[in-house]
Amino acid sequence: MKRWLAPTFLLLAACAGAATGNQATAVVLHGQRFTTELATDEPSREHGLMMRTRLAADHGMLFVFPLSAPRAFWMKNTLISLDILYFDANRRLVSMQLNVPPCKSDPCPIYPSHAPARYVLEVSAGTARRMGAEVGDVLKIEGDVGPVR
């Protein structure tokens, strides 16, 4: 009877991980590769990088939306400064909000895209400038982002 416990536990753990929307993939922008957590559903997009005290230089979070639209992010409960990079449906960089500080007052400022976006990449503040990212750069996503809700 114990034979079924391990496979059942692994299946439940995999389902629980998928439900969070935080599976990982890699992206490449302007020649730099980042390991990214994926935010592909509303709960994971709302939580984003909240409560993180650090973000490695080669890590980030990729927010994937079902459709392109004007996007706006804020930094509520985000403890680290970020670069917020907005990409259209063709994964072309259309807008950047750089060195966005943590929110220190309520209400928190809003950081909008300047064009419709379907993908948003958050990386450590200063990363975009350091690697020379420019509007028009193409984001390469390695692998599949899975279902987007």
Domain range summary for the chain, segments of one domain joined by +: 22-142
- pTM, two decimal places: 0.83
Tokens read off for 28: 């490449």
Cα–Cα nearest to 24, from 56, 53, 51: 56
Is domain 22-142 given the CATH code 2.30.40.10 in the classification?
A: no
Least Cα distance to 141 among 90, 105, 102, 107 occurs for 90
* Cβ within 8 Å of residue 72, ≥6 positions away: 110, 111, 112, 113
Burial 44-56 (b: 16+ CB within 10 A, else e): bbeebbeeeeebe
Residue with tokens 């590769």: 33
* pLDDT per residue rounded down to tens, the chain (149 residues): 444 444 333 333 333 333 344 578 999 999 999 999 999 999 999 999 999 999 999 999 999 999 999 999 999 999 999 999 999 999 999 999 999 999 988 899 999 999 999 999 999 999 999 999 999 999 999 988 888 88
